[in-house]
């Protein structure tokens, strides 16, 4: 799919204008706007980076497959945290560079956590300034949290109370995902 995306959209590496997209779909720009319901969901863009968005979506899907394969591999020679963390870091890089749904604050939090010992750090949720998740060994949780507090929260939010900080920054442990019981 990545090759197909490059073949389909590679001729416009800087993105398509609305007019170019409409022409490629054999529509007028007004018909395109109606088809994507721009009256209800306004689009504020001059260029539409279809190649980059497709590259992100397909490479992200591949990372999900690889993540699952690593978890299910049973390979005793593999450093699981490093392998999974690398995928998380690649995901964050793709969110930032290809999908452009990160922001400087998220990028800073991820960089700080990685320098403090996180195997992997990435945005999560809806993006565009949402939340971060970090893969950290138990023995480094407190030191990573302390770096995030001292290097980010204390500087950006000096009046944040301890209770607010506890709501903003907390550790969890992995568990079973959602499931359906009959």
Tens digit of each residue's pLDDT (9 = 90 or more) over 140-176: 999 999 999 999 999 999 999 999 999 999 999 888 8
3-state secondary structure of 27: coil
Would you state the pLDDT for residue 31? 96
Whether the predicted pLDDT of 128 surpasses 80? no
DSSP H/E element including 122: strand 120-124
pTM for the full model? 0.87
Would you state the pLDDT for residue 127? 53
Q: Which two tokens stand for residue 67?
A: 């993540």
Please choose, from the candidates 153, 162, 157, 163, the residue with its C-alpha nearest in 3D space to the C-alpha of residue 132: 153
Q: Which two tokens stand for residue 9?
A: 């959209």
pLDDT in tens, 6-52: 888 989 999 999 999 999 999 999 999 999 999 999 888 899 999 99
Would you state the pLDDT for residue 176? 82
Would you state the pLDDT for residue 151? 97
Would you state the pLDDT for residue 129? 60
pLDDT in tens, 63-109: 999 999 999 998 888 899 999 999 999 999 999 999 998 999 999 99
Would you state the pLDDT for residue 113? 98
Residues in the chain: 182
Would you state the pLDDT for residue 60? 96
Would you state the pLDDT for residue 180? 81
* Helix%, strand%, coil% for the chain, nearest 5: 60, 5, 35
Q: Which of 15-19, 117-121, 126-130 comes out lowest in average pLDDT?
A: 126-130
DSSP H/E element including 53: helix 50-73
> Please, which residues have CB within 8 angstroms of residue 67's CB and are 6 or more apart in sequence?
84, 87
């Amino acid at each position: 799919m990545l090759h197909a995306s490059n073949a389909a959209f590679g001729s416009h590496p800087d993105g398509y204008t609305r007019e170019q997209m409409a022409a490629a779909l054999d529509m007028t720009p007004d018909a395109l706007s109606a088809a994507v319901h721009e009256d209800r969901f306004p689009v504020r863009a001059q260029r539409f980076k279809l190649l980059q968005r497709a590259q992100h979506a397909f490479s992200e899907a591949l990372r999900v497959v690889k993540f699952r394969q690593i978890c299910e591999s049973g390979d005793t020679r593999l450093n699981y945290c490093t392998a999974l963390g690398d995928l998380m870091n690649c995901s964050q890089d793709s969110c930032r560079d290809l999908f452009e749904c990160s922001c400087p604050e998220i990028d800073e939090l991820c960089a700080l956590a990685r320098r403090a010992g996180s195997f992997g750090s990435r945005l999560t949720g809806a993006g565009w300034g949402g939340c971060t998740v970090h893969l950290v060994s138990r023995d480094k949780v407190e030191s990573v949290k302390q770096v995030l507090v001292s290097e980010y929260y204390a500087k950006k939010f000096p009046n944040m109370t301890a209770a607010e900080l506890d709501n903003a920054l907390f550790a969890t442990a992995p568990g079973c995902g959602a499931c359906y019981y009959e």
